[in-house]
A and B are shown apart, each in its own frame.
Chain A
Amino acid sequence: MKIRHWLLATAGLGLILGALYLAKVSPLEAARTLFQGTLGSASAFSGTLRETSPLLIAGIAVFIALRAGLFNIGAEGQLVVGALTSAALGLRFPGPVGLILGMIGAAIVGALWALPAGLIKAYRGGHEVITTIMLNSVAVFVTNAIVAGPLRDTSQESPTTRMLSDQTRLPWLFKSPALEISSGVLLGLVLLIAFASWLKSYVSGYELRAVGANRRAATLAGIATKKTIVWSMTASGAVAGLAGGVQVMGYTGRFYSDFSPGFGFNALGVALLAGGSALAILPAAFFFGMLAKGSAALQILGVPKGTSFMVLGVLITVFAAVRYRKASMESAS
């Protein structure tokens, strides 16, 4: 780190401390509340894990695309359509069949939602960030329309689907009154390890990294760059969709309008924070999970919930400035 990076980090920290000062909360008190509310008790820890699991899986999704040199800002939208798909399939086919169908469906629809972005990037040169931003908005509108229309549980005040039956949901790995661990967390861990080893030791994983590191060199080395871009974007979408499926079938048990409180954007932060190493996604996701859970506890102290987003913005800025720099020579083309 150079001096200017320290300056940037200091400025970021100053902003956060300034916000806490304005909210009339001492930093020590805030830190203690954050710790108590996230790790202080078994139930707090359960809540942190609950926040971590979508961030872990969506973080893997963003990371896949990032290693191929693509920004999948669209994880948000892919997650939402995946979540709706799993809820719809789970309601249509109750029981374990619906559970499996729901998970597969979530991944497929998430992949399909990412496909246009990959195709446009590879064959038309349109920037994937713009495409996925547009697809995010469409995803929110489409899912809100469906949950307010055909899938709506009319007995409820706000637009939501019916609850999934217990057999259609992911089983608890561990459940006591205080501590609950969903098998969604395990699924995320398995996915992470599988993905990390694939990226490291398989030819296709190597090709993905090669395309991300230097597209021109990869083309000259004989890698089908365009195909790699399309499938890496699609794979990223599938994992993001799966994150939505896990969120519905593991935690919420239903889909409701404005489903995601920004999982996709947090996931981008997770992937950037993880930097070069796939396994670093886990601590990064846990850290962001703590932030999400802890902000609820801080709200009781009178710190507005927006503060956690300010922290998130500062974190992404500082980490990206230090670790994820590139003179993006080809990002516009």
Chain B
Amino acid sequence: MTWIWNLLIGMLAGAAPLALAAMGGLASERGGVINIALEGNMLIAAVSTALVAAATHNPWLGLAGGIFAATCLSWAHWLLTQRFLMDHIVSGMALNVFAMGAANFLSKQYTNPSAGELPVLNLNLYFTLAILLPFAAMLYLKHARGGLRLIAVGSDPAKSRQMGIFPDRVRFLGLSATGVCCGLSGALIVSNARYFTDNMTAGRGYIALAALILGSWRPIPALLACLVFGLFQVLQFQFQGSQLLGVAVPREVWFSLPYLITIVALAGFLGKSKVPSGLGRY
């Protein structure tokens, strides 16, 4: 039975950063803010976690630094989309590009710990959070006043305003949560590798976005999608170099699967997706 255990552990390890980031995306998109900047948030969190932890020799401060950096980037997204009324996609894109540059700049400018020397927190902390957070999000969205307001703002910002809820204030809180979740995700990625390399999030912010879409912007289905993507990642290691039906399958096929499934889902072949109707509106 050990192999099943190993499979599950591997799946969880692959899914955890995705699930954390997907919850970040949820907090933003359920409030009506399109957020393709998850990737940038995670990257800036990863580099900040590594640099702060290496400088202070304190993993908790590292995590705090990562969360702070990602939250700042998220606030920038709020400022640009809600105050400057900039297109959400353009803002997210620009922030991604900026974060990619800033991560490279910071890692070159300050001492990047060499491989394996980074003080890190126990990874189980992150894994537990990754599993618990979606359930907490589900309960919060269903029963708490804040969660209901978030959904109201994300469904119809104009009507919410008439009801006395300020969409931009609710969205500010939502985007702050995005920053915290992406911060955790980026910190997990860098803690797992124990040093920072350029572009180390490797598109996982986009996969998290894909999981969110596959899960129709609901926390538990999104978590399940992340687990499936985590499973692909394990299978890719398992099947590496081996043959499937007599053909050597390049590992890139496994890498591509999450994206391909999302495209099929977007094409509406996997049931109707329920997009928050106030997405991108004011």
Instruction: Please list the residues of chain A having a beta carbon within 8 angstroms of any beta carbon in chain B.
Output: 4-5, 8, 19, 22-23, 71, 73, 116, 119-120, 124, 126-127, 129-131, 133-135, 137-138, 141-142, 144-145, 148-149, 262, 265, 268-269, 272, 304-314, 316-317, 320-321, 324-329, 331-333
CA distance A225 to B206 in the complex (A): 29
List B94-152 residues whose CB lies under 8 Å from chain A: 94-105, 108-109
Min distance, Cβ A152 to any Cβ of chain B, angstroms: 12
Partner pick for B267 among A116, A129, A272, A320, CB 8 A cutoff: A116
Chain A CB within 8 A of B210 CB: yes
Q: Which residues of A contact B55 (CB under 8 A)?
A: none
Interface string of B207-243 (1 = CB under 8 A from A): 0011001000000000000000000000000000000
A4 engages B84 (CB within 8 Å): yes
In the assembled complex, 19 residue pairs joining A and B whose CB atoms fall closer than 8 Å, in A order, are A8-B84, A19-B105, A23-B105, A23-B109, A116-B267, A130-B36, A137-B256, A262-B97, A304-B108, A306-B105, A307-B101, A313-B96, A317-B91, A317-B94, A317-B95, A324-B86, A326-B85, A327-B85, A327-B281
Residues of B within 8 A of A333 (CB): 275
Q: How far is the CA of A196 from the CA of B20 in the complex (A)?
A: 45
A306–B213 Cα distance when bound, in Å, is: 31
Q: Name the contact of B101 in the complex, choosing from A130, A141, A306, A331 (C-beta under 8 A).
A: A306
Contact with A313, one of B85, B89, B95, B206 (Cβ below 8 angstroms): B95
Count B interface residues, CB 8 Å.
53
Residues of B within 8 A of A (CB): 34, 36, 80, 83-91, 93-105, 108-109, 203, 206, 209-210, 213, 250, 252-253, 255-256, 259-260, 262-263, 266-268, 273, 275-282
Residues of A within 8 Å of B263, CB to CB, are 116, 120, 131, 134-135
In the complex, what residues of A have CB within 8 A of residue B250's CB?
Answer: 145, 148-149
Cβ-defined contact, A313 with B260, below 8 A: no
Of the residues A127, A272, A307, A308, contact of B90 by C-beta under 8 Å = A272
CB neighbours (8 Å) of B267 from chain A are 116, 119-120, 124, 126
Judging by beta carbons under 8 Å apart, are B266 and A131 in contact? yes
Interface of A is mostly: helix
* Known interface pairs A307-B105, A310-B105, A316-B97; A324-B259 also in contact (CB < 8 Å): no
Whether B203 lies near A309 (C-beta < 8 A) is no
User: Hey, which chain A residues are within 8 Å of B209, CB to CB?
Assistant: 130, 133
B100 surroundings in chain A (CB, below 8 A)? 306, 309
Known: A145-B252, A307-B105, A313-B97. A134 touches B88 (CB 8 A): no
Contact indicator B97/A265 (Cβ below 8 Å): yes
By the criterion CB–CB under 8 Å, are B252 and A141 in contact? yes
Closest 4 CB pairs of A and B: A306-B104, A313-B98, A309-B101, A126-B266
